[in-house]
Chain A
Amino acid sequence: MSAPTHLAHQAPQGFIRKYVFSLDHKVIGIQYYFLGLFSVFLGISLSLLMRFHMVNPEAKVSWFAHLWPTSAAGGMMSPELYLSLMTMHGTIMVFFVLTTVPQSGFGNYFLPLQIGAEDMAFPVLNMLSFWTTFLALVVMVSAFFVQGGAPLSGWTAYPPLSAAGRITGPGQGMGQTLWIASIAIFCGASLMGAINFIATTVDLRCKGMRLMRMPLTCWTWLVTAILALLGFAVLLAAGLLLILDRTVGTSFFIPGGLMISDQIIANHKGGSPLLWQHLFWFFGHPEVYIAILPGMGVTSHLLATFARKPVFGYKAMVYAILSLGFLGFLVWGHHMFMSGMNPYSAMAFSVLTMAIGVPSAIKTFNWIGTLWGGQIHFTAAMMFALGFVSLFVTGGLSGIFLGQPALDLYFHDTYFVVGHFHMIMGVAAIFGMFAGTFYWFPKMFGKMMNETLGKIHFFATFIGVYCIFMPMHFVGIAGTPRRYSDFSNVEYLAPLMPVQRFMTHAAYFTAAVQILFLINLFWSLWKGPKAPMNPWNSTSLEWTVPSPPPFDNFAGVHPVVNHGPYEFSVPGAPTDFIMQTDPPSVTSES
């Protein structure tokens, strides 16, 4: 558990080695954070264009024509442009925001600090995984600029639509190829990161940092890394097979006897579209937990810190995290109830899916248990953690409908699904990121953020996201299919247009208030008051070092841990918190 000597690299001097090709996990964490920040604003912008088009399908906007001379000729957005925005929105959000920020951003920065390590186990691999992610983002965004534009097959890229090439639609040529290439590169980056996280957690914990003394954040980063290792490996394989189908004429996913755009496809036979769905969702469902687990970790950590109470049922929380990770690999079929797979397997998948409700319920119960009897300090970070709990409950419960194949007979691919996964995987996870930002910003940048602005931003965002995503459940119940660029062709959708317009306005509002966050972030970076070492009276190891921490984290000292991570309000202790590194005599409890 002691830090190996190869880690004792010296602080680099040049700008390039210090800030660009840095080996320091803290710099790499910040690089990931800003990559995610760029991506989330790109992703949100795409969704606003989509929301605009859905309620104004005929509108002519002159700058659309400048941006997309062919797919928005005359300023009117074409259906293929809408679908390409949708595909890129989903892909950028899932891969470059939800996968990147909670794990690679915060995890990179704080895992070594919280377990008392000088750096990640493999600093070079760490640098490589960031720059590989960067390359993947460049390749992904470049799909907008090639002939035909970005692909239109959605973030799930179901073949044959994604496999048969240009013939299935604009964007399905070069755009789709770049999309798959980007995903494959991203898989490589994630695998490198996953190995690093696992090795670091297993090998580099400081003296006394037993597994059961790790903050819950570290547990979620560890389990997320294991999920990423197993999930992205399968997606990488699937992506390579899909590229082969497109470029060298194999038929892994393309069956025989197809006729597309009046052309008989003679050179493919024997492939299975369902094979892709199995491989994709074998990755895709664990991906949901990759996105949300770190948010759960941050939430648990913050609720304890700001309620000044130990986490209720720490052990149960650890087991819940482990079982969420394990069960996450057994339920991919619930995305495929309507796919034409053997209907008997749906029974098994649905029972396993309901089993996920159990660890989820443990988490919710324990969060409320943590708050019970507490002394809650309403910091902006805490508000976002509390918001996370509310959104997690709301988004989780709609899953009880979708996990039943009988009810999925109607809800599959309706807006009910869109509402469900945006609530839980989208905004709940993003609330985890906001919570992490407000909590850790002082440590990362040595400055405090503005609390008042943070709380205004919180309330506006919290109400805003409910106004966007809750009505989606209702239009879903009324039968609105997802991935429609225009609702005017189906008669029964006309009466729902006022609800669609309401959601669009809520989206404009919610996106606009994110400017408050940007102002807060950049203003605080520049002018924020200087942060002390431990502004929140937290207990974990990152708060025992200066803000920001020195290059090798603990300035050559090897920390020794004597206490569990959440020793708040211990009777008889001089303060209401006991640092993990405090001497054992502070209290008789461990």
Chain B
Amino acid sequence: MLLAPVIWILTAIIAYFFAAKTWWFPPPINAHGIAYDQQFMRTLIVTGVIFVLAQCALGWVIFRFRDRGRPASHNHGNDRLETVWTSATALLFLGLVLTGTKIWANVHFDQPPADAIPIEVLGKQFAWSFRYPGPDGKFGHTDLKFVNDSAANPFGLDDKDPAGKDDIVSASLKIPAGKPIKLIMHSRDVIHNFFVRELRMKQDIVPGMEIPLSFQADTVGVYEVPCSELCGLGHFQMRTTMQVMSPADFEQWKIEKAQK
């Protein structure tokens, strides 16, 4: 009996914190993020209503049908209620998936535009590296045998390849605001995961595979990139940042970086 108010109070507390958004997402920085948040809210409303109704109903039957000496009613169920309930749930849940389909499709099915800026991402235990092709627009040849992390050559750039001479290597990701970006992601050792909260996106980086991820970020700022797939003892330290710059600042940064 006491269980009924306990369930109601817990339900109310949980519902309060979801409504108050005390611990919540950071603001989105692109159109995908806005669409993502809308889909999240749709799902939250549907599941929230079911959550409150189901918990309150559970509390209610516990309270209402506690043993008061009256014998229980005898019935084996109700097929019509069962059918209605089942179909309603099926429609609701399928509807939710379908409304989210476009968001997934935009991230994974659409080809990035031809002018998207290519950036190679390298994950390794426990650091990130990013490579830009430089003014020639071409990535230089790489080989594991040239890899030298202490000499700032995590990609293993071959210094005999002229296309690689102007490649820019950076320990943090810098991108221009409002421009389509195409990440080409590799891992050197184990699985890592590229995650930016504000982008509302993450992607595993699997050794032996080349995994693309395209997006655009519109709001200038510095955003954290914590590795989000267990990669070993330093997993919690594998962090970098993604800096979204104005296009002019980005060009300036590339020039400065190329001179070094």
Interface residue ranges, A against B (CB under 8 Å)? 78-80, 83, 152-154, 158, 160-161, 164, 168-170, 255-262, 264, 271-274, 307-316, 338-340, 343-344, 346-347, 350-351, 354-355, 357-358, 361-362, 364-366, 368-369, 371-378, 383, 386-387, 389-390, 393-394, 397-398, 400-401, 403-407, 409-410, 412-414, 459, 462-463, 466, 470-471, 474-475, 477-479, 481, 483-487, 489-492, 496, 499, 568-571, 576
Contacts and interface: CB of A to CB of B under 8 A. Distances in A.
Contacts of B74: 309-310, 568-571
A260 B78 contact: no
B259 interface: no
A426 to B, nearest CB: 17
A373 B230 contact: no
Nearest to B46: A400
Given A160-B189, A470-B14, A377 B67 contact: yes
19 contacts: A154-B230, A161-B191, A168-B190, A259-B189, A310-B76, A311-B77, A315-B77, A354-B94, A365-B81, A368-B61, A373-B75, A374-B73, A375-B72, A394-B55, A404-B104, A405-B100, A410-B197, A487-B236, A490-B224
Contact of A160 (B66, B76, B191, B200): B191
Contacts of B25: 410, 477-479
A262 B6 contact: no
Given A340-B211, A400-B96, A477-B24, A376 B36 contact: no
A393 B51 contact: yes
Given A393-B51, A569-B74, 20 more contacts: A80-B233, A83-B233, A258-B208, A274-B206, A340-B203, A351-B94, A374-B65, A390-B55, A397-B47, A400-B93, A414-B228, A462-B6, A466-B10, A466-B14, A474-B24, A475-B23, A477-B23, A478-B25, A481-B226, A483-B235
A375 B90 contact: no
A27 B213 CA distance: 56
A273 B206 contact: yes
Nearest to A260: B189
B197 A365 contact: no
A474 B17 contact: yes
In which size bucket is the chain B interface? 35 or more
B210 to A, nearest CB: 9
A46 B227 CA distance: 24
A263 B147 CA distance: 10
Given A160-B189, A362-B85, A410-B202, A490 B226 contact: yes
Interface of B: 1-3, 6-7, 10, 14, 17, 22-26, 36, 39-40, 43, 46-47, 50-51, 54-55, 57-58, 61-62, 65-79, 81-82, 85-86, 89-90, 93-94, 96-97, 100-101, 103-104, 107-109, 124-125, 144-145, 147, 149, 188-191, 193, 195, 197, 200-209, 211, 224, 226-237, 239
Given A168-B232, A364-B54, A492 B202 contact: no
Contact of A378 (B1, B69, B101): B1
Contact of B76 (A271, A312, A344, A378): A312
Contacts of A410: 25, 36, 197, 200-202
A406 B39 contact: yes
A398 B18 CA distance: 12
Contacts of A271: 208
9 A-B pairs with least C-beta separation: A255-B208, A313-B77, A343-B108, A406-B100, A373-B73, A406-B103, A361-B89, A474-B23, A80-B233
Contacts of B75: 309-310, 312, 373
Contacts of B81: 365, 369
Given A375-B67, A397-B51, A486-B236, A390 B189 contact: no
A259 B232 contact: no
Contacts of B78: 312-313, 369
A264 B145 contact: yes
A407 B197 contact: no
A357 B95 CA distance: 12
B189 A258 contact: yes
B236 A485 contact: yes
Given A365-B82, A400-B46, A169 B58 contact: no
B114 to A, nearest CB: 21
Given A273-B191, A406-B36, A492 B26 contact: yes
Contact of A343 (B89, B109, B234): B109
A512 B174 CA distance: 49
Contacts of B230: 83, 153-154, 158, 161, 483
A478 B72 contact: no
A373 B67 CA distance: 10
A478 to B, nearest CB: 5
Contacts of A153: 230
Nearest to B2: A459
Given A404-B96, A413-B193, A474-B17, A365 B85 contact: yes
Which of A358, A404, A571 has the most B CB atoms < 10 Å from its CB? Answer: A404
Contacts of A259: 124, 144, 147, 188-189
Given A368-B57, A393-B51, A484 B97 contact: no
Contacts of A357: 89-90, 93
Contacts of A340: 203-206, 209, 211
B58 A368 contact: yes
A160 B224 contact: no
B86 A362 contact: yes
Nearest to A486: B236
Contacts of B108: 343, 346
Which of A308, A338, A407 has the most B CB atoms < 10 Å from its CB? Answer: A407
Contacts of B46: 400
Which of A375, A466, A576 has the most B CB atoms < 10 Å from its CB? Answer: A375
Contacts of B62: 371, 376, 386
A407 B100 CA distance: 8
B192 to A, nearest CB: 10
A362 B51 contact: no
Contacts of B89: 357-358, 361
Which of A314, A371, A481, A486 has the most B CB atoms < 10 Å from its CB? Answer: A481
Nearest to A462: B6
B43 A376 contact: no
Contacts of B234: 79
A487 B226 CA distance: 10
Contact of A350 (B61, B97, B200, B204): B97
